[in-house]
Amino acid sequence: MKKYLNLFDFKQKVDYKTEILSGLTVALALVPEAIAFALIPGFSPLTGLYAAFVLALITSIFGGRPGMISGATGAVAVVFIGLILELKRNFPEIEPETILNYVFATVIVAGVLQIGAGLLRLGKFIRLVPHPVMFGFVNGLAIIIFMAQFPNFYQKGTDALLETTPFMIMLGLTLFTMLIIWGLPKLTKAIPSSLVAIVVVSAIVIGFGIDTLTVADTMKEGESIKGGFPPISIPQIPITWETFTIIFPYAGIVAGVGLIESLLTLNIIDEITETRGSGNRECVAQGTANFLSGFLSGMGGCAMIGQSLINTSSGARARLSGITAAVMLLVFIMFGSSLIERLPMAALVGLMFMVAIGTFEWASFKTFRKMPNSDVVVMVLVTLITAITHNLAIAVLLGVIISALAYSWENAKRIRARKRIDEDGVKHYEIYGPLFFGSTTAFAEKFDIQNDPTEVIVDFRESRVADMSGIEALNKLTERYRNVGKKIHLKHLSKDCIQLLEDAEDIIDVNVLEDPTYKVVVDKPKKKDAEEQNPFKLWGL
């Protein structure tokens, strides 16, 4: 248990002042985000705020990345729109309270799936995300954060800009906030500049009675962030197969989206802090947080890159900042709602604008002429899909798929065969490059079966058989040589290739002669007779 409660995971001295002040800043930034994301599927502000509290607290204590902040997110909120539409199609008379029960149940199941992913150590698969996809993800997310602030410059409930005076006030306060955040660190880093910006701009607005958009104005009429400790909510839904078929697909999407966004954020924070977090531990923490969120009236969520960057840019590196943010958020809900609702949105908008500017990988523009064309296409595509659809999981998955296809295509073109005939009249094919599903056609075209001598050697010193498609290619090749009465030998097969061939012996018959002089090592014999114990036994005749 000490392992999880340790604030010194990276053996780094904790600056308590920085951690607490940074946590306070994050808590202030969490409020409008949680409210906005709760309103996307039509939930009350408290549903988002409770989720933010539970997610931030649990992941800060048990998560695999100190300094990373989790809460209610738009990526998860969007999933519930589909769930609500399906519930209304299946149950036209369904009540809003019943819909919430289905949402809480979905979050609970998603949490279980995430815990399972962590226990199965699936977090390591985030390593398969290529760097161009990471660039695209970060850039797309920066655009989303930036664009998400624009509605604050419109008249509430319309697509019309604010009138001239309110618009100029909003713009001026936003720019002033950005100026403080940019300029203060050049003078002193004793206090997080983002916190100073919020306090100063809020003091100006409240002190001079300036009429501008506040947090309260972003909520529906009659709604408030005032509440108590998150109430326990055991989902009251029928335990039937029909219920399971409705919620499970959406729970799977919530779990997948949450883990992808969380693990990518973890990697980004790793790079910023030059330390290494634990992906599998983060999966378990995210799952536990979502599981508890469903039982505590929360809509679930995942890691938040914007708030995480606010936290790390303020100098926070330990778990204390996240814990502080969660506790202060609960304090705001229980005791400080009236003050928080008076905070000017201009201060928070300016903060998020600076986060978006800091999040965007401006260096990615310099790589356009240095990166392969396929990587540039992937980066731009992931950026556009992320920015347009706001579906980070789909954007990342498509980026990974396209990168994998591009990689396969490039490797498929690399297979080569150097040919020679020795003094004994044996023809040698020296293979270069991997033999896998993408290169089997090119591999088969290298051989001149009709005109080759009666004995052929295929040398794999500079190659390897990578998959079942490669085995099938060998099978077809040896069949073609055998059909014309010629022998083929495999030379310098690696141990893993031999194992792959042995594992496939019941599926594919590879008719290959292995010359004893090549001394290919095989696995331990399965039989005790002398013939089977001979490691240089001829194969497959």
CATH number of the domain enclosing 527? 3.30.750.24
Residues 6+ apart with CB under 8 A from 512: 474, 478, 488, 489, 490, 539, 540
8 Å CB contact between 498 and 510? no
The reply to whether 256 and 350 lie within a common domain is yes
Q: At what angle do helices 131-147 and 241-273 cross, to 10 degrees?
A: 100
446 in the same domain as 343: no
Same domain, 215 and 287: yes
Do 322 and 229 lie in a common domain? yes
User: Does residue 81 surpass a pLDDT of 90?
Assistant: no
Q: Is residue 339 part of a domain?
A: yes
Residue 50 within a domain: yes
Q: Which of 287-291, 348-352, 495-499 has the highest mean pLDDT?
A: 287-291
- The alpha helices in 390-534, defined as continuous H runs, are 392-412, 440-444, 468-483, 495-503, 530-533
Distance CA(345)–CA(219), nearest Å, equals 12
What is residue 300's predicted lDDT score, i.e. its pLDDT?
A: 95
Q: Check whether residue 309 and residue 443 sit in a common domain.
A: no
Query: In this structure, are strands 455-462 and 427-432 parallel, antiparallel, or unpaired?
Result: parallel
- The candidate with the shortest Cα–Cα distance to 298, out of 269, 258, 336, 346, is 258
Number of domains forming the structure of the chain: 2
> How far apart, in whole angstroms, are the C-alpha atoms of residue 313 and residue 308?
8
* CA end-to-end span of the chain: 59
Residue 539 lies in a domain: no
State the Cα angle at 138 between 136 and 144, rounded to 5°: 100
Q: 538 lies in a domain?
A: no
User: Is residue 114 within 8 Å of 255, Cβ to Cβ?
Assistant: yes
Enter the tokens of residue 386: 């992320």
**Within this chain, do residues 218 and 336 fall inside the same structural domain, yes or no?**
yes
Q: Is there a single domain that holds both residue 447 and residue 351? A: no
What is the reported pLDDT for 189?
76
Residue 9 inside a domain? The answer is no
Query: Strand, coil or helix: what is 537?
Result: coil
Q: How many other C-beta atoms can be found within 10 angstroms of the C-beta atom of residue 507? A: 10
Flag whether 53 is in a domain.
Answer: yes
Q: Answer yes or no: do 430 and 303 share one domain.
A: no
Confidence at residue 537, expressed as pLDDT on a 0 to 100 scale: 39
Q: Please, are residues 64 and 282 in contact by the beta-carbon 8 Å criterion?
A: yes
Residues 355 and 437 in one domain: no
Residue 263 in any domain: the answer is yes
Cβ neighbours, 10 Å, residue 432: 14
Compute CA distances 272 → 70, 186, 310, 323, 480, whole Å: 17, 20, 12, 20, 56
Q: Does one domain contain both 425 and 348?
A: no
- The model carries a pTM of 0.71
pLDDT of residue 217 exceeding 80: yes
495 and 353 share one domain: no
C-alpha 339: how far from its chain's center?
Answer: 35
For residue 513, give its domain range: 413-533
Sheet of 487-491, strand order? 416-421, 427-432, 455-462, 487-491
446 and 301 belong to one structural domain:
no
pLDDT above 50 for 234: yes
Kindly report, residue by residue over 421-455, the tens digit of the pLDDT: 998 899 999 999 889 888 999 999 999 999 999 99
Last residue of a domain, which of 330, 359, 388? 359
pLDDT surpassing 80 at residue 90: yes
Residue where a domain terminates, one of 325, 359, 393: 359
- Computed over every residue of the chain, the mean pLDDT equals 84
Task: Judge whether residue 67 has pLDDT over 80.
Answer: yes
Gyration radius of the chain's alpha carbons: 30
In a domain? residue 238: yes
Structure tokens at 302: 């995942």
| Residue 215 CA from chain centroid, whole number | 30
